[in-house]
Amino acid sequence: MAILTAEVPLELAGKRLDQVLVEIFPDYSRNKLQTWIKALRVTVNGVQIKANDRLDGGETVVLDAEAEEVTEYLAEDIPLDIIYEDDDILIVNKPAGLVVHPGAGNWTGTLQNALLFHFPDAVTIPRSGIVHRIDKDTSGLLMVAKTLAAHHSLVEQLQAREIHREYLAMTIGRMTGGGTLDEPIGRHPTERKKFAVNYNGKRAITHYRVLERFLRNTLIQVKLETGRTHQIRVHMAHIKMPLVGDPMYSGRFQMPKDCGSELEMVLRGFKRQALHAEKLGLIHPRTGEYMEWELPMPDDMQALLLALRENDTLDHS
């Protein structure tokens, strides 16, 4: 059981209570929320009201959420690289190649399957405690909630843009400097599996700065304000600086000019987008303390970085 509290955003003024609950507690279905309203498990400013009563915005909603099994996925003994763990949260280093959530074509062998094995109580938490995701072929830091209260806190921090997330990425193309991209992202108009800058999409904000330049590539550090699907990959492709190894957004692979044999070998063997979730910071759900973790880039990106540095020292005349 968890007592969840939220303030109704002013932009939801005029909506019914059940509609508002779907927006402010997105991890529960409308049917489940309506059941809890009927069971008198929801109050608005301390008063129990009906599902179809409309709100003005600014009210305080309290939900007494029942812990119940919310997943049918299998628990699997898959190794986890746990960076930090306490009674409330878990910080994991996800390797490239590991899918976060089960889905079409990947019903087993995912991070969620692993969590269900290592942390059996995860069956009572939406998505087994996973509150955000990184792509299958992106490596790095991921946070997991171990209680309903922690889950709600981390979701609220994400929505309020209070979670600090920084990435390292290697682009195809030499940048002159950093900047900020404030471009909405939505489904690609013709390719269902892709996303694109789409002015009917959701707002997406990406800050990036140059760490190191090479002849035809740039190592950048990226800070996210929002967390849209494929956000960094889409935004970098939008400014014609797609990520090395990105099969979806970089187009057909082309070996760069002035490429030595060592770099050519590394590039041909680099089969994923060169993107690593390097830094993660959050406010601890129980203590209120700000906590932050940082991970160096994995071996494959280190090898790519070294090969690019060595290639730049070659005589390309």
Rounded distance, CA 17 to CA 282, Å?
Answer: 30
State the helix-helix crossing angle for 17-24 and 30-38, rounded to 10 degrees.
120
169-195: burial string, b at 16+ Cβ within 10 Å, e else: bbbbeebeeeeebebbbbebeeeeebb
| Selected catalytic residue, list 81, 121, 135, 299 | 135
Alpha-carbon torsion (81, 280, 244, 159), positive or negative: positive
293 CB-contact burial (10 Å; exposed 0-12 / middle 13-18 / buried 19+): middle
Of the candidates 209, 168, 136, 208, the one whose C-alpha atom is nearest the C-alpha of residue 297 is 168
Q: 307: alpha, beta or left, given left = phi > 0 and alpha = psi -120 to 50?
A: alpha
Question: Between the CA of residue 314 and those of 38, 189, 243, 305, 310, what are the distances in Å?
Answer: 72, 43, 23, 15, 7
29 CB-contact burial (10 Å; exposed 0-12 / middle 13-18 / buried 19+): exposed
**E-strand stretches of 204-311:** 205-213, 217-224, 275-283, 290-294
Neighbour tally for 252: CB within 10 Å: 5
Of the candidates 143, 236, 253, the one whose C-alpha atom is nearest the C-alpha of residue 195 is 236
258 is catalytic: no
Where in the sequence numbering do the catalytic residues fall?
135
